[in-house]
Amino acid sequence: MGAREYTGRLAGLPTPFYFYDMDLLDRTLRTAGEEAARYGYKIHYALKANFDPRIMSAVRAAGFGVDCVSGNEVRAAVENGFPASEVVFAGVGKSDREIEYALSQGIFSFNCESREELEVIDAIAERMGKTARIALRINPDVDPKTHRHISTGKADNKFGISYTEIDEAIASLDRLRHIDIVGLHFHIGSQIRDMRVFERLCERVNAIKAWFAGRGIVLRHLNMGGGLGIDYDAPDAEPVPDFASYFAVFARCLETGPGQTVHFELGRSLVGQCGELIARVLYNKTTAAGSQVVILDAGMTDLIRPALYDARHGIENLTSQAAPQTYTVVGPICESSDTFAERIELPATSRGDLLAIRSAGAYGMAMASRYNLRELPGAVYSNEL
């Protein structure tokens, strides 16, 4: 039900804002944790998905670590009570200042994405009198079968050390005295719904791991990234993603050695379905081509995914039960790409109606901007209504 259950209490609030179903969030976190625990797997929450303090608090209470992709994310994790020893720091372009901060906090590991990054972290660690724990992020050249803008593990993506350069990266390790290689890291993309993609990832990881073992390099940790998608088309049909099938793929297909731990970096699958963007209808208009257009007070500055990825989100009218009509739903931003959906059916919609844009808990508020000098959207939580 989500926001619809609270329509009466939401109707008088200033829009736009994000509504978070905290009961659904807790249920999702609990299910993911229980399914991962079956195999002794460790989850690190991908903070880039949503860094709302109350969301972070729920994740921390669930016992998860954190996956960060900037120095400020590392800082936010530490300042919000996550143990630094459970923080992993990824990203292709870590600055010296970010590396220094993460080293000073004693994070679990840096996920290194290039040979030159290894050298830079080694030099900074030497200067600081530290030893940096490193996981080598290897690009396994696996097609995630998803949108090209959220694909990260193909041969021509910018992420990770190319499998063609592993030899050179390993050869450099003997002279890097201030790093400790503790694991391998992989992440092939996002919003993956086909479990066969993860099977192929496991096959590639098994081969890469065997390559390292053949050179006498046995690594303590395997970080398999994340990527599990959610159902944007029918969020009520699958409010909690199929974590059982997801983790079972790795349990079945990934080869691990004695004492080797497996880590995951889940973001969207943990928080995506718990959030909805609530907006109010400002105007209706009909174009010269005959399209009925609904103009909301929320736009691409509040939820950029449709403009950036051609992403689809379910949209509901919370306050009208009239016969359905076909609408194009847009925002107020001075860009033609500021369109949430085209030619969708909604109950007859009028000025003042409250609309919910579903499945917006991940990469919604986290990617909001003040373009056009707009205010950032607020947040409302189900357990505070």
**Closest by CA position to 174, among listed 122, 214, 219:** 122
- What local confidence, expressed as pLDDT, does residue 149 receive? 35
First-to-final CA distance of the chain: 15
Strand partners, 262: 222
Query: Which regions of the chain carry the CATH code 3.20.20.10?
Result: 22-272
- What local confidence, expressed as pLDDT, does residue 143 receive? 44
- Per the CB < 8 A criterion, the answer to whether 96 and 121 are in contact is no
Q: What is the CATH number of domain 22-272?
A: 3.20.20.10
Q: Looking at the domain covering 273-384, what would its CATH class be?
A: mainly beta
- What local confidence, expressed as pLDDT, does residue 158 receive? 46
3-state secondary structure the chain: CHHHHHHHHHCCCCCCEEEECHHHHHHHHHHHHHHHHCCCCEEEEEHHHCCCHHHHHHHHHCCCEEEECCHHHHHHHHHCCCCHHHEEECCCCCCHHHHHHHHHHCCCEEEECCHHHHHHHHHHHHHHCCCEEEEEEEECCCCCCCCHHHECCCCCCCCCEEHHHHHHHHHCHHHCCCEEEEEEECCCECCECCHHHHHHHHHHHHHHHHHHHHCCCCCCEEECCCCECCCCCCCCCCCCCCHHHHHHHHHHHCCCCCCCEEEEEECHHHHHHHEEEEEEEEEEEECCCCCEEEEECCCCCCCCHHHHHCCCCCEEECCCCCCEEEEEEECCCCCCCCEEEEEEEEECCCCCCEEEECCCCCCCHHHCCCHHHCCCCEEEEHHHC
- What local confidence, expressed as pLDDT, does residue 155 receive? 41
pTM for the whole structure: 0.92
- What local confidence, expressed as pLDDT, does residue 139 receive? 76
pLDDT tens string 103-160: 999 999 999 988 889 999 999 999 999 999 999 988 766 543 443 433 333 444 444 6
- Per the CB < 8 A criterion, the answer to whether 326 and 344 are in contact is yes
Residues of the chain with pLDDT under 50: 143-159
- What local confidence, expressed as pLDDT, does residue 154 receive? 40
Q: Give the phi and the psi of residue 208 in degrees, each rounded to 5.
A: -65, -40
- What local confidence, expressed as pLDDT, does residue 163 receive? 65
Query: Which regions of the chain carry the CATH code 2.40.37.10?
Result: 273-384
Question: Token digits for 159?
Answer: 């992420």
pLDDT tens string 315-329: 999 999 999 999 999
Strand partners, 281: 296
Cis-peptide into 16, omega within 30 deg: yes
- What local confidence, expressed as pLDDT, does residue 369 receive? 98
- Per the CB < 8 A criterion, the answer to whether 341 and 328 are in contact is yes
- What local confidence, expressed as pLDDT, does residue 339 receive? 98
- What local confidence, expressed as pLDDT, does residue 189 receive? 82
- What local confidence, expressed as pLDDT, does residue 141 receive? 61
